[in-house]
């Protein structure tokens, strides 16, 4: 549960681009009757800690769909990744924390957002994790995180390390100042070799708070995963 006594102004931003190597136009796939991006927007709006939800995009097609379901969006320039897109979107926003949400995780529990925001405390960056499923242990598409006794990340990797690790969830919380600083840092060797952007913070000596939460569904990266999601939605209708 989010602690209302520690209330801060928190903005959730969902970066959304039209191109996707494995699933083109994923964000506006709408076989359920709603575009995929709308589910993430709805999840963010349910979280207790969120004051405002924005979608950051450079696509007019995505912007039109956002307008249709009543969401708020900011048009940005072209960016190499979602983090830099979010940094542009919130550069002039007055807030205490920025939540970086993924638009392809339509089944994320909103309490994960609240837990990550609560966990950050006085640190500059936070995230979340859950237990690894047996089939995820050897899957290098599933990012793992080792969490220290103090609740901060020791390391992130794709291969399963020796010892206990958790599945990293693709959600981040930043202070606005750190977010703007982060995008100016040079990519580190670990970031490039592991294809894990969060290693830039670790390698530069910053601590990342990690909230441990209940198991969460995987995100949607492929048309096959989206088809399974559509089936799950249809079963609940």
Look at residue 134 in the predicted model and tell me its pLDDT: 92
Compute the radius of gyration of the chain from its Cα atoms. 17
Instruction: Spell out, as residue ranges, where the chain has pLDDT lower than 70.
Output: 1-7, 237
7-228, what's its fold?
Spore Coat Polysaccharide Biosynthesis Protein SpsA; Chain A (3.90.550)
- pTM value? 0.93
**pLDDT (0 to 100) of residue 7:** 58
pLDDT number for residue 205: 97
Task: Write out the two tokens for 228.
Answer: 């399974």
Place of tokens 């999601």: 229
Largest CA distance in the chain: 48
> What residues does each domain of the chain span?
7-228
CA distance 45 to 33: 19
Residue 115 near residue 128, CB atoms below 8 Å:
yes
pLDDT on residue 6: 55
């Amino acid at each position: 549960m989010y602690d209302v006594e520690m209330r801060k102004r928190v903005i959730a931003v969902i970066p959304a681009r039209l191109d996707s190597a494995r699933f083109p136009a994923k964000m506006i796939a709408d076989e359920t009757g709603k575009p995929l991006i709308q589910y993430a927007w709805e999840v963010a709006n349910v979280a207790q800690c969120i004051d405002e939800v924005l979608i950051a995009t450079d696509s007019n097609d995505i912007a039109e769909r956002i307008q249709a379901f009543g969401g708020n969006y900011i048009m940005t320039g072209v960016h190499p990744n979602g983090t830099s897109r979010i940094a542009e979107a919130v550069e002039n926003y007055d807030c205490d924390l920025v939540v970086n949400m993924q638009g392809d995780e339509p089944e994320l529990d909103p309490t994960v957002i609240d837990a990550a925001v609560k966990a950050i405390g006085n640190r500059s960056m936070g995230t979340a994790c859950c237990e690894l499923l047996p089939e995820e242990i050897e899957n290098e598409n599933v990012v793992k995180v080792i969490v220290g006794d103090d609740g901060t990340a020791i390391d992130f990797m794709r291969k399963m390390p020796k010892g206990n690790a958790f599945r990293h969830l693709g959600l981040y919380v930043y202070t606005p100042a750190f977010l703007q600083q982060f995008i100016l840092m040079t990519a580190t060797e670990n970031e490039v070799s592991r294809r894990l952007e969060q290693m830039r913070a670790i390698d530069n000596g910053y601590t990342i708070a990690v909230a441990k939460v209940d198991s969460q569904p995987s995100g949607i990266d492929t048309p096959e995963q989206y088809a399974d999601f559509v089936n799950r939605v249809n079963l609940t209708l």
